[in-house]
Structures are given as C-alpha cells and as structure tokens.
C-alpha cells in the first residue's frame, strides 16, 4: 500500500501515510521502500532544490518535516522548498502545530480525560526503546476518552478509544505515556508487554495508532490550515468485528 496525497501546492504536501512504511531512509531500511524514496521517485512531485546545499536537512530528509512510527498511519507533512521546510520546522519547535491522534488502549481510563506530563528519553539499556527518565526531555500528552469497548474474548477485556494531543514531539511519546499510566496501546509490540502484544497480534496485525488531524499555518500565505484523515479500514473493521461498544 502506498501513501496518498491529501493536498499539495507549490510549497508543501500533506500525505496520508499507511501503516507498515518507514518514513526516512537509513542503513536499516536498505531492503524496504520508505516514504522518503517514494517522494523522490514520484514524478508528480517537484521539489525546489536549486542553490540548496546538499548538507541541508531539507535535502537529506527530502522535505519531510516530522515523522511517524512505521506502524502508525495518518497525516505526514512535507515541504517542497527550503524556506517552507524551515518555517514548518520552526512551527513544530514553537508548538504552533496541533496534532491529533486516535488510539485504542487497554483498560478503562479514570479520569476519562486528562494529561500526562512525564519526561522521556532513550533507555540506556535498550537503545530501541524510550521511557520515563529523570532528567529526560519534557513531554506532555493530553487525552480524551471518546468511547469504551469490550473485547469479544474470554476475558471480556475493557478497551478505551482515545483522542490524543501531544504538546511535545518526542519519539514514541504517546506509546510510552500510555504504557506509563498502565494503558498500553493495543497491539504495541514495543510497549504493551510481550504476552499482551502476542495476544493482541492474533486479532490485529498493526499498532492501533492513527494520526488523524493536523493544524498549522501555511509557510507562505500564513493561512491557518487543517487536514484530517479518517480511521483506516483495518482499524474500523477491527472495532466492528472484535469489540462491542459500551453505552
């Protein structure tokens, strides 16, 4: 499955990224096609790279302004020229950009709405994972419960569908924060725990996390823009087939 273009003009592209595709090229992605390579190979997309130093992040990242985890689907923002890239990156740094994610997590959250403020960092003993670390970088996630479900299995486990707004953009932030409050995301191989993730994967082959909306200012016109991406069919079908919505 390939990404689709939600919007594009002379300065930026808004993509809908499917689950299962890595965003940026790296030594570990030599045998898979990334979003970055898809952008470089797409003849419908023209980047303005004249007089741009090849060492600029804009060139190295093929205009990709931020990132999504491989198994996370949804909205990804790409700049088509260096000035737009820098302006959009600055909006992320200044926390001007507003992002919304949808996630299904284990358990029922009490309170239903709240915030998680826990500093995060890469774990020294496992460089692939992040966690709560004293002295780590500030990380804030706002959550709101939008539905409670019961899993159709022998345990009749409670699940919660959440709308999440990360105020910071740390790697794996939402996934780690949900684990920290003992409500890991459904089918999360890294953070749900080995036994739980194994059982989840029998029902859902991907992480239940979707970047559903982004709001930012156009880098040239300064117009406030908002783009949405509906929940992928696989996640919708999972809710319909394997869960019951509680009243």
Positions marked catalytic: 69
**Residue 129 tokens, joined:** 């994972």
Q: By the 8 A CB rule, do 16 and 229 touch?
A: yes
Q: Which residue has the tokens 């709001």?
A: 215
In DSSP terms, 143 is beta-bridged to 114, 164
Q: What are the CA-CA distances from residue 30 to residues 27, 37, 49 (Å)?
A: 6, 11, 24
Give the separation between CA 13 and CA 1, rounded to whole angstroms. Answer: 19
Please, which contacts does 235-239 make with residues 24 or more away whose CB atoms are closer than 8 Å? 235/104, 235/204, 235/208, 235/210, 238/203, 238/204, 238/208, 239/104, 239/149, 239/161
DSSP class per residue in 207-246: --EEEEEEEEE-TTT--EEEEE-PPPHHHHHHHHHHEEE-
Backbone angles phi, psi at 11, to 5 degrees: -115, -25
């Amino acid at each position: 499955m390939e990404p689709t273009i939600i919007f594009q003009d002379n300065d930026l592209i808004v993509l809908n990224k499917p689950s299962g595709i890595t965003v940026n090229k790296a030594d570990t992605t030599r045998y898979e096609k990334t979003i970055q390579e898809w952008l470089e190979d797409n003849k419908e997309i023209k980047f303005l790279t004249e007089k741009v130093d090849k060492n600029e992040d804009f060139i190295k990242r093929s205009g990709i302004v931020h990132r999504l985890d491989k198994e996370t689907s949804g909205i990804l923002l790409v700049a088509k020229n260096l000035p737009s890239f820098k302006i959009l990156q600055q909006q992320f740094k200044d926390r001007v950009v507003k992002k919304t994610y949808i996630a299904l997590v284990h358990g029922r959250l009490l309170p239903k709405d709240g915030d998680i403020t826990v500093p995060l960092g890469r774990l020294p003993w496992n460089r692939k994972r992040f966690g709560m670390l004293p002295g780590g970088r500030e990380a804030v996630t706002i959550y709101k419960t939008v539905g409670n479900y019961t899993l159709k299995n022998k345990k009749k486990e409670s699940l919660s569908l959440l709308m999440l707004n990360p105020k910071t953009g740390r790697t794996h932030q939402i996934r780690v924060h949900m684990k920290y409050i003992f409500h890991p995301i459904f089918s999360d191989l890294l953070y749900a725990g080995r036994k739980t993730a194994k059982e989840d994967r029998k029902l859902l082959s991907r992480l239940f996390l979707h970047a559903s909306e982004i709001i930012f200012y156009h880098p040239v016109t300064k117009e406030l823009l908002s783009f949405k991406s509906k929940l992928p069919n696989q996640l919708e079908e999972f809710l319909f087939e394997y869960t019951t919505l509680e009243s």
